[in-house]
Structure 1
Amino acid sequence: MYPEIALASASPRRRELLQQIAVPFSLVQVDVDESLKSDESPGAYVTRLARAKAQAGADKLHFAVPVLGADTIVVVGQHILGKPVDEADFNRMMQLLSGRCHQVLTAVALIGRHSSDICCVTTEVCFRKLSDADIAAYWQSGEPRDKAGGYGIQGQGGRFVSHISGSYSAVVGLPLCETDLLLRNWQEQA
C-alpha cells in the first residue's frame, strides 16, 4: 500500500509507529544542527528541523527513495523544552509542566527527487499537579532522559497526563493520520 521509504530518525518510537501502520522503511542516519535560531518561533523551528532531517537523508541516499524526517518539541508559553541535560534541568521542566497545559508540536517532512511535503501537528497536553516525590521517582525510572519535555506519554509519564486534545501519536513522535496522508499524496503524485 505504501511506497518504500527511508526514515531519517533514530527514535525507536517513530519506528514502532511506522510499523504500526505497515509502512515499509529502512533507516538512514543523519546529523543535523538542532540549534534554535534567534527569533525563531516554535512552529518554524520544529518544521525546519523535520525538513532538514529529511533533506539530509535524501542527499545521503541520492534520492533513491523518499525520505521521512520528523521532529517533536514540547512548548510551554514560548519556551521550548528539549531533552533534559541533567536532573536539575528535568526538575525545572516538570515544575513548568506541573498543573498546567502545554503544546507538543511534531513536524513531518517527506522529501524525494521531484517533490516535498511537510506538515506540523499541534497537540495540547495537560498535566495534573505533580509532587516532588512524583518528579523524583520519575527521574529515577530513567525514562525521561531522552524525551523532549522530559516525559514519554506512552510510558510512565502517561500517568501525569490529565487531558489531551489532538493527536496522541504526534505526542509519541509521529502523527499517524498526517503521515498516512503525506504518503498517500506522494503515491498519487508519483
Structure 2
Amino acid sequence: MFLQNLEQYEIILASKSPRRQQLLSDLGLRFSVQSMDIPEVFPDNLGMTEVSVYLAELKAEAFRPQLKNNQLVITADTIVWLDDQVLNKPTDYADGFRMLKKLSGKKHQVITGVCLLSAEKKVSFYALTDVWFKELSDEEICYYLECYQPYDKAGAYGIQEWIGYIGIYRLEGSFFNVMGLPVQSVYEHLKTF
C-alpha cells in the first residue's frame, strides 16, 4: 500500500455509492464498506460550502460510539448548488425533470464534503467544481431519466453517464468531485492523517 501511514488502520468507507467505492479502491486502499441510514437534514442557515461538510461529519459521527482505536472512517456527501439552493437527490421522475430543466443552460457548483474520523482525530474538508450545462431539450432530459434513472444522484445526474457526455461542455475543478469523491484531495489528506 502506498499510504503506509495508514497501515495501522482498518479503513471503513461509509458509503453505498458504487462510484465512491471504485474511486477509493483505485487509490490502492483496502477498506470495508459499512453505512448507516442517516437523514440528510441540515440547518437552513448553512452556506454553499458548509452543507456537504456538515452532512459528511454527521455521517461520520454516527460511527463514533462503536469506533475502535484502529479504525478510520471515511464519509462523503455531495451536493449540487444552483441559485443559492441545494438540489438534492430527486424523489421521482417529475422531480428529476424539474432539476435538469433548472440546470439546463446554466453554471452550477458541485461540492463534496469529506470527513476522516478515527478515535483520536477528525479532519473535514470540501472540494468545489464549477459545471456548465448546455441547453438540454425536453427529449434529452426524458431520455436520460428513462434510461438511467438517476434517483440516487444529487442534482439528478451523473457526469460519467450519457447526460454528462452530451450536456456538460465545461468544468473547472475536479472531475472526480462531480462523480462523488475528490480523490486527489482525499489522497493528500490521507497522506498526513
Q: TM-score range by the shorter chain?
A: over 0.9
Residues 58 and 65 of structure 1 are in contact (CA less than 8 Å); yes or no, is this contact kept in structure 2? no
Percent identity, please: 37
Give the 3-state SS of the residue equivalent to 2:125 in structure 1: strand
Give the 3-state SS of the residue equivalent to 1:125 in structure 2: strand
Q: Tell me which residue corresponds to 1:17.
A: 23
Q: How many Å separate the matches in 2 of 1:8 and 1:60? A: 13
Residues 158 and 179 of structure 2 are in contact (CA less than 8 Å); yes or no, is this contact kept in structure 1? yes
The residue correspondences of 1:23-172 to structure 2 (distance < 5 A) are 23-159=29-165, 160-172=167-179
Residues 28 and 57 of structure 1 are in contact (CA less than 8 Å); yes or no, is this contact kept in structure 2? no
**Partner letter of residue 111 of structure 2?**
L
Give the 3-state SS of the residue equivalent to 2:75 in structure 1: strand
Which structure 1 residue ranges, 5 or more long, are not aligned?
none
Residues 29 and 57 of structure 1 are in contact (CA less than 8 Å); yes or no, is this contact kept in structure 2? no
Residue 63 of structure 1 deviates from its aligned partner by 4.3
**Partner letter of residue 138 of structure 1?**
Y
1:59–1:156 CA distance, 2 compared to 1 (3 A): farther
1:119-160 Cα deviation digits (max 9, x unpaired): 111100000100010011011113422111000001122121
User: In the comparison of the two structures, how many residue pairs are matched?
Assistant: 186
Which structure 2 residue ranges, 5 or more long, are not aligned?
none
Residue 64 of structure 1 deviates from its aligned partner by 3.6
Give the 3-state SS of the residue equivalent to 2:150 in structure 1: helix
The TM-score with structure 2 as length reference comes to 0.91
Q: How many Å separate the matches in 2 of 1:111 and 1:144? A: 29
Identify which range, 57-66 or 153-162, moves more after superposition: 57-66
Residue 36 of structure 1 deviates from its aligned partner by 2.8
Q: CA RMSD in A?
A: 1.3
Q: How many Å separate the matches in 2 of 1:52 and 1:63? A: 20
Residues 106 and 121 of structure 1 are in contact (CA less than 8 Å); yes or no, is this contact kept in structure 2? yes
